[in-house]
Homo-oligomer: A and B are copies of this chain.
Amino acid sequence: MEKLSVVKIGGNIIEDEATLNAFLKLFSNLEGKKILVHGGGKRATNIASKLGIESQMVNGRRVTNAETLEVITMVYGGLVNKNIVAKLQALQTNAIGLTGADINSITSRKRPVKDIDYGFVGDVETVAHHGIDKLIQANIIPVFCAITHDGKGQLLNTNADTIASQVAVGMSKLYDTSIYYCFELNGVLKDINDKNSVIKHIDTNGYKTLLEQKIISDGMLPKLENCFDALHNGVKNINMGNTAMLTQSDNNFTTITL
């Protein structure tokens, strides 16, 4: 099967224009078929607060009310997404900006209300891998923001990490698919206080050992769980580190495989 890279960037890259520009150059130079997934960062929170929309928190979790969803749609789907697309075009990378509603690419279900009503938050149900592949086959690079839809006209807020892993799982039916999670650390660290203590490779057995030794930090645990879930569902390997891992010369990052 042909190779496909799904690259996810977070707020730390989006919020600083120079960092974003440097990343987009690396992404443009990345060989082979590829997909970009981005979060929104603090921009949405800033604009919401300027518009007088309070961030609702329940039990420490953010709730997406109707007004917040509007801001997310504006900031993630408009401002951030379209500026990334314009910048990629300037680098001769033929990008197209997408939410899950576009070409019905990602449908989700509004999270059922149990203890907490998260509001307009969607859990991914389907990824239209054939539809997305039509774009890829036409040499178009999909750029997804963190918005999906329920197929009934409702946009929904969805975690960007989840979009990256679910899109990768979907595309792994057609491609030998890797995920690159770009974040502020160099990778999964043995010692959270030593940024150079990168664990180069984690496989199923290594993961068990790390869990037993309680080496993995609390923030990293759900990320790794999601990674193994994606690997069990067809994704070939997952890489975590800073954006330099997109260049072939850098090998100071974490690769995760079954």
A contact residues vs B (CB 8 Å cutoff): 47, 50-52, 70, 73-79, 81-83, 85-87, 89-90, 94-99, 101-104, 134, 138, 140, 147, 149, 151-155
Q: Nearest residue in B to A149 (C-beta to C-beta)?
A: B86
> A90 with B151: in contact, given A77-B77, A79-B74, A102-B95 (CB under 8 Å)?
yes
Give the chain B neighbours of A104 by CB distance below 8 A: 89, 94
Known: A77-B77, A138-B134. A155 touches B82 (CB 8 A): yes
Contacts of A98 in B (CB 8 A): 96
* Copies of this chain, count: 2
Sample of 11 further A-B pairs with CB below 8 A, known A77-B81, A89-B151: A50-B50, A73-B83, A74-B74, A76-B78, A82-B147, A86-B99, A86-B101, A89-B153, A94-B103, A96-B102, A97-B102
A153 surroundings in chain B (CB, below 8 A): 86-87, 89-90
| Complex Cα–Cα for A152 and B89 (A) | 7
B90 adjacent to A79 (CB under 8 Å): no
Complex Cα distance A89/B47, Å? 28
In the bound assembly, the distance between CA atoms of A244 and B47 in angstroms comes to 38
Q: Which residues of B contact A102 (CB under 8 A)?
A: 82, 85, 95-97
**Contact of B152 with A90 in the complex, beta carbons under 8 Å:** yes
Known: A96-B102, A103-B96. A82 touches B77 (CB 8 A): yes
Chain B residues, Cβ within 8 Å of A81: 77-78
